[in-house]
Amino acid sequence: MIIILKPNSDKEKIKDLLDSLKSRNIGIHYSEGKFVDIIGLIGDTSHLDINSVMASSDIIETVKRVSEPYKAVNRKFHPDDTVVDVDGAKIGGQNFSVIAGPCSVESEEQMICIAKAVKKSGAKLLRGGAFKPRTSPYSFQGLHDEGIRLLLEAKKETGLPIVTEIMSLTHIDLFADVDVIQVGARNMQNFELLKELGKCDKPILLKRGLANTMDELLMSAEYIMAGGNSNVILCERGIRTFETATRNTLDISAVPLLKEKSHLPVIVDPSHAAGIANLVEPLSKAAVSVGADGLMIEVHNNPPKALCDGDQSLTPVQFDHVMEKVKMLAAFENRIM
Amino acid sequence: MIIILKPNSDKEKIKDLLDSLKSRNIGIHYSEGKFVDIIGLIGDTSHLDINSVMASSDIIETVKRVSEPYKAVNRKFHPDDTVVDVDGAKIGGQNFSVIAGPCSVESEEQMICIAKAVKKSGAKLLRGGAFKPRTSPYSFQGLHDEGIRLLLEAKKETGLPIVTEIMSLTHIDLFADVDVIQVGARNMQNFELLKELGKCDKPILLKRGLANTMDELLMSAEYIMAGGNSNVILCERGIRTFETATRNTLDISAVPLLKEKSHLPVIVDPSHAAGIANLVEPLSKAAVSVGADGLMIEVHNNPPKALCDGDQSLTPVQFDHVMEKVKMLAAFENRIM
Amino acid sequence: MIIILKPNSDKEKIKDLLDSLKSRNIGIHYSEGKFVDIIGLIGDTSHLDINSVMASSDIIETVKRVSEPYKAVNRKFHPDDTVVDVDGAKIGGQNFSVIAGPCSVESEEQMICIAKAVKKSGAKLLRGGAFKPRTSPYSFQGLHDEGIRLLLEAKKETGLPIVTEIMSLTHIDLFADVDVIQVGARNMQNFELLKELGKCDKPILLKRGLANTMDELLMSAEYIMAGGNSNVILCERGIRTFETATRNTLDISAVPLLKEKSHLPVIVDPSHAAGIANLVEPLSKAAVSVGADGLMIEVHNNPPKALCDGDQSLTPVQFDHVMEKVKMLAAFENRIM
Amino acid sequence: MIIILKPNSDKEKIKDLLDSLKSRNIGIHYSEGKFVDIIGLIGDTSHLDINSVMASSDIIETVKRVSEPYKAVNRKFHPDDTVVDVDGAKIGGQNFSVIAGPCSVESEEQMICIAKAVKKSGAKLLRGGAFKPRTSPYSFQGLHDEGIRLLLEAKKETGLPIVTEIMSLTHIDLFADVDVIQVGARNMQNFELLKELGKCDKPILLKRGLANTMDELLMSAEYIMAGGNSNVILCERGIRTFETATRNTLDISAVPLLKEKSHLPVIVDPSHAAGIANLVEPLSKAAVSVGADGLMIEVHNNPPKALCDGDQSLTPVQFDHVMEKVKMLAAFENRIM
């Protein structure tokens, strides 16, 4: 971290600032220049907040980080791609994996029917919401533990590992047999939940918040990794902008940028990003070409009757058609599906 | 809720749609027109999701809510202002109340010093963070239970009721003696937390999320009220936009709009909205004039040494100056402080 | 357009509203229902503004367009893809065309060098700014008529048709020999300019504004087409959001949505969208896969010395590498380059 | 401007960079430190673009402006408030002035009726659109020169100076008798228009663009002032965000920030910001309290019949009521109306 002082700063105030920094146990290097004075902070400054440093003296012109505030997720320190292995289904590296299933778990018949269909089409993992974050308290909130039970039934039937969302750390015991725990966009900065998930050894699928920057997503992943859990999968699922033609705006540029900054795998959720079923195919293809490590797609046996998000769900037949395109493109890009 | 059908829709599909709606136990009224057919849904439709209804048939042109999806928070059904009474400090109605204190609780000396100062200047409640939501896992995370203890010490010393943020429902027992529980912007859609807070009888200060609409804020308040707790205070604290000159963009229009839609009190947090100490005064005055019911202001005895958000905190002297202006303006507006 | 009235509206006010609508020469169909009354507006309502209709009476619950406000650009009325033919270089339909060149025209040597290079790599058109929209009045503003002269020199040398931006309709005579006139993002709603360009017969490359919706982009294209010029190419170049890691946020979903709504060709400008040279390749590939009709890429012989936008420009060597990837992917997608 | 080099940069590259900077006629000061090397650029760097400097060498860690890129509008160099005097109506300094009138000029009767009414209520200037920027080419586009003639009639009748929007520099001759020329939000970065307006001596009312930062607004004002015209009035009128409950989001914080950065007067347009008539009063009051220098309010004798923006217009009676509140508050704030 570099602190640039205002020209002709008061010597007494410079001394105060240096003393204050020393008292925080930071190595400092003060360099007096003819044009401007700067202070270099040496060592690990990841616990320092730029705003707090800025506020610590009125002689500071600006503060600039020269290293990123994240360490564990940083590709600089871990150049190789992380590959998350979920019971044989690999996400990251040269692999390209598709997670598919309904928005909400509704019934055993539904789950098994969809699980078989998506497996046949090439999905490697099964998703389904047991706990549903809904804007309204009067909307269907999910089947809870019964939902997880049905997912496990579908897993037993098909062998597909399951991915489902956690909404509260008080539910964590219910997730004992879940293969991948999903943190939804609304909980991306539920830091207490992230800390708890850092302590378990299950893969965590971390979705980007609707108003969160890429750096904030990486910092949330850092919360999990700092706790000791390095199986984190990042998911770009659209951000909130002024455009209303799509539910959210898929930030496709986030994929190559996140992969440049971090070694973690990055997947794309075209269903939630667009909120429109017939955009799933073109956005899935864009995700493959831009370098994503996988997709998360909503599939429902009967979208018009879906209890949630029917307008963005594909039927198994539509999903199969999309997967055909995705498989050809992934092969073209030398990805293993 | 009104469903407008596409012109010349297939009779069979119309029948299917009507049957499907009837099976959801919704009263329906079908009106065949020369130009367009419409279906009116009668009764309580607050559990229906517009997107799901849209997806339930391909003959639907559009779906329009004619009543709001929120009931308990709706001014239509509760025309009178709700006044939240916190140990004698009233928020709402003709009252104008100021909550002040440091971003983070740091020490007993700090808390008592600030509590005395803000009380003298006219604050009616004391704020201070014991659990701090920080972007980085390496930043100061708050003093936790010790922080709450120090807040209670400051209350004992000054009589000011205390407001502090909860970050996880597993901590709820620690908040037994807290007067107002704050839900931060990042947890505005942490629905499991909201449900739990709906079961307690303490006032809840609910901050608007950075990317959440006013309607979503009201729906989150509805979660709390649906659980039985009607002591909810809404807080506008800035939304995330493209502008970077301020930390967030204070959506001042939200104050009169929220008060029109709901009977709940609405306060403004100018410190977090702007992130700049010298904007607190003008924004506080704007809040009074626009009709807010109170303010939440960060005050620190020594901002340069603050462990968090020093750049937006006022000193007690600056706060006293702002309060002088606020008091005069509140008197001009016939508000009771 | 459909007007839904509030329940139990005053009969006198309904009559007033019907009279007022009739006086605007709109066919109306009034349908009294048991649940709600609606008024259907028959015929061409594209000149009606929803907000104005809403304001015309206080008994109106809501107004809903059932047909789009654009006609000439609407795919419904022109199902076939428009193919813009620029001197043999085709944009639209099965064709995939790349426009390349420097941000600013700087010198004859530069232009000819770059023109030859991009042609060799497969670009079909040459771009270069002669009039530059710069935030600061003190920044380099372009070479103006001399810039256009140099572009024409490069065209003479290579045969590549040229694309360059117009900033004022007073300059239009200088564009007599230009092949494609570009309207920049900042002028997307400079309606007087659009009207003027509607009168000429040159292809117009219309870039989406930083804060403009897809529908607004289509309405701006409608301005040009309403004037009689049907050679319009739409360009997605990123929108302004809260994310600062990229200069703008490329709205990749806009490509398939615009192509669904309109018959006009849609190209992508990955250079301006991201503002980062090494994102040009992944975003270009995403554009091919999502179904775009072409690309517009900044290429500079010496980016570090570029007078403008050096940080997002590719060198001719880098461009050649990107084009190799783009050509293979376009072939895979059965596009003609 | 300060350039911070990457640690351990290649000596040869440093020499190249210094030579390149020298060749641009910039004074430089190179300071070699133990921790980091920096280069200070001395003198006027307002013509330098940060992105271009960044791109000029790969040994640059970061570039930081230590002075603002604007000079003429900068309060640092002109500490006193600019007061724009329009025929005796003063905007800026201690004055608080209200501009009122219809969105569009429609008829002589309308204009004179409204002009008389708003004058009686205390407005100091009359607004009315003769050239209307409309999203759709099929919407009413204004009465053009006839509209200006009617405004001048209303001025003759009432003595109120007139404000009207220019949409193209080809129309400038029609504005010879207009008192204040308005540049609309969509033309805020129509730089050719700004340059032309810099050459005239009329006051210019410059509205902030929907997606433009405060700094960009100041840079556009700088375009006008750099041409020699120092009579510029800034207008905050809402920015585009994800919130749809209001037409735009009024960025109230922009008022004190713009006034801190610049000596130019800043007014607020609550009508366009909110797009809702009954928000005009609370937002007008917020504008007074936050320190704005005036308001621009839409008033129409018969909003339901307005050809444009009827839903946000006040009737003369409503306007009179708002003005009563504004006058009392302005008096409280010691502003002269």
pLDDT of residue B302: 81
The predicted complex's ipTM stands at: 0.92
DSSP C40-102: EEES--TT--HHHHHHT-TTEEEEE-SS-S-STTBTTT--SPP-EEETTEEEBTTB-EEEEE-
pLDDT in tens, D262-306: 999 999 999 999 999 999 999 999 999 999 999 999 999 887 666
Q: Are B313 and B298 in contact (CB under 8 A)?
A: yes
Closest partner residue to D137 (CB to CB) among C58, C226, C313 is C226
**Average pLDDT, integer, range A317-322:** 97
**Chain A residue at shortest CA distance from D211:** A242
Retrieve residue D253's tokens. Answer: 């914080």
Task: Write the DSSP symbol of residue A124.
Answer: S
Whether pLDDT at A34 is above 90: no
Q: What is the pLDDT of residue D194?
A: 97
The alpha-carbon gap from D108 to the nearest alpha carbon of chain B, in Å, equals 34
Residue C254 to residue A250: CA distance in whole angstroms: 10
Q: Residue C98 half-sphere exposure, CB side, CA atoms within 13 Å?
A: 31
In this predicted structure, what is the pLDDT of residue D18? 87
Nearest to A192 among B51, B55, B167 (CB): B167
**Using CB atoms, which chains have 3+ pairs under 8 A with C?**
A, B, D
Q: Mean of the pLDDT values across residues C314-323?
A: 96
D139: contact with C, CB 8 A cutoff? yes
Mean pLDDT of D141-153: 96
CA distance D79 to D73: 10
Closest chain C C-alpha to B168 CA, distance in angstroms:
27
C-alpha–C-alpha distance, residues D232 and B22, integer Å:
63
Tell me the nearest-neighbour CA distance from C132 into chain D, angstroms.
9
Find the mean pLDDT for residues B188-201. 96
Residue A83 has pLDDT above 70, yes or no: yes
Q: Does A40 contact D36 at a Cβ distance shorter than 8 Å?
A: yes
Among C242, C256, C289, whose Cβ lies nearest the Cβ of A329?
C289
Q: Which tokens go with B228?
A: 């039985």
- pLDDT tens-digit readout, B234-281: 999 999 999 999 999 999 999 999 999 999 999 999 999 999 999 999
The pLDDT confidence band at residue A220, using thresholds 50, 70 and 90, is: very high
By DSSP bridging, strand D38-42 and strand C294-298 are unpaired
| Inter-chain CB proximity D241 and A242 less than 8 Å | yes
Residues of C in contact with B61 (CB under 8 A): 64, 66
Nearest C-alpha neighbor of C310 from the set D223, B137, D49, D97: D49
SS3 C275: coil
pLDDT at residue A307, as a whole number = 64
| Angstrom distance (rounded) from CA D128 to CA D142 | 10
Helix (H) or strand (E) holding C159: none
Chain A: nearest CA to D100, how far in angstroms?
29
Which of the 8 DSSP states describes residue A39? E
Residue D53 pLDDT: 77
Nearest one of B228, B231, B227 to B206, comparing CA atoms? B231
pLDDT for B303: 72
- Residue length of chain B: 337
The chains found to touch B (3+ Cβ pairs under 8 angstroms) are A, C, D
pLDDT in tens, B212-227: 999 999 999 999 999 9
Higher pLDDT, B315 or A311: B315
Pairing of strands B180-183, B2-5: unpaired
**Interface with C, mutate which of A268, A272, A289 (most C CBs under 10 A):** A289
pLDDT value at position B301?
Answer: 85
- Report strand pairing: B38-42 vs B84-86: unpaired
Bridge-based pairing of strands D89-91 and D97-101 is unpaired
Residue A64 with chain D: CB contacts under 8 Å:
4, 61-62, 64
**Residues C191-229: tens digit of each pLDDT:** 999 999 999 999 999 999 999 999 999 999 999 999 999
Tokens of C212: 């403009």
Calculate mean pLDDT across residues A110-118.
Answer: 96
The C residues from 18 to 47 touching B (CB cutoff 8 Å) are 29, 31, 33-36, 38, 40, 42
Instruction: Give the relative orientation of helices C145-158 and C108-121 as an angle to the nearest 10 degrees.
Output: 40
Indicate if the pLDDT at residue C164 is higher than 90.
yes
Q: Answer whether C10's CB lies under 8 Å from C1's CB.
A: no
Interface of D with B in 248-287 (CB under 8 A): 249-257, 260, 273-274, 278-279, 282-283, 285-287
Q: Hunting for tokens 């060098």 — which residue is that?
A: C113
* Contact (CB<8Å) B253/D274: yes
Average pLDDT of the segment spanning A270-295:
96
Residues in C 44-83 with any Cβ partner in B closer than 8 A: 61-62, 64, 66
DSSP structure class, residue A281? H
Show residues of chain B in contact with C66, CB under 8 Å.
Answer: 4, 7, 36, 61-62
Contacts C210 to D, Cβ<8 Å? 211
In the sheet that holds A2-5, the strands lie side by side as A27-31, A38-42, A2-5, A60-64
CB pairs under 8 A between C and D: 152
B245 to D290: CB separation less than 8 angstroms, yes or no = no
Please tell me whether residue A36 adopts helix, strand or coil conformation.
coil
A318 touches chain B (CB under 8 A): no
pLDDT at B207: 98
Query: DSSP letter at D324?
Result: H
C33 and B38 within 8 Å at the Cβ level: the answer is: yes
pLDDT at B307: 63
Instruction: Single out the residue of D138, D164, D193 nearest to residue C187, CA to CA.
Output: D193
DSSP-based three-state secondary structure for A75? coil
Shortest distance, CA D321 to any CA of chain A (angstroms): 34
Contact yes or no for B46 and A186 at CB 8 A = no
**Chain D residue closest to A33 (CA)?**
D31
Which chain A residues are Cβ-neighbours of D29 within 8 angstroms? 33-35
Q: Is the pLDDT of residue B319 over 90?
A: yes
Domains of chain D (ranges; CATH) run: 2-64 (3.30.70.1140), 84-332 (3.20.20.70)
- A residues 98-137 lying closer than 8 A (beta carbon) to D: none
Q: Which among A255-259, D2-6, D42-46 has the top mean pLDDT?
A: A255-259
Q: Take residue B33 and report the two structure tokens written for it.
A: 């027109």
How many CB pairs below 8 A link B and D? 107
Chains that touch D (3 or more CB pairs under 8 A): A, B, C
With cut-offs at 50, 70 and 90, classify the pLDDT of residue A46: confident
**Residue C307: per-residue pLDDT:** 63
Residue B306 has pLDDT above 70, yes or no: no
Cβ distance D211 to C216 less than 8 Å, yes or no, reads: no
Angle subtended at Cα A66 by Cα A65 and Cα A68, rounded to the nearest 5 degrees = 75
Question: What residues are paired with C207 via a beta bridge?
Answer: C235
User: Span D146-168, mean pLDDT?
Assistant: 97
pLDDT of A174 strictly over 70: yes
Quick one: tokens of A159?
A: 């062998």
Q: Do C31 and B36 touch (CB under 8 A)?
A: yes
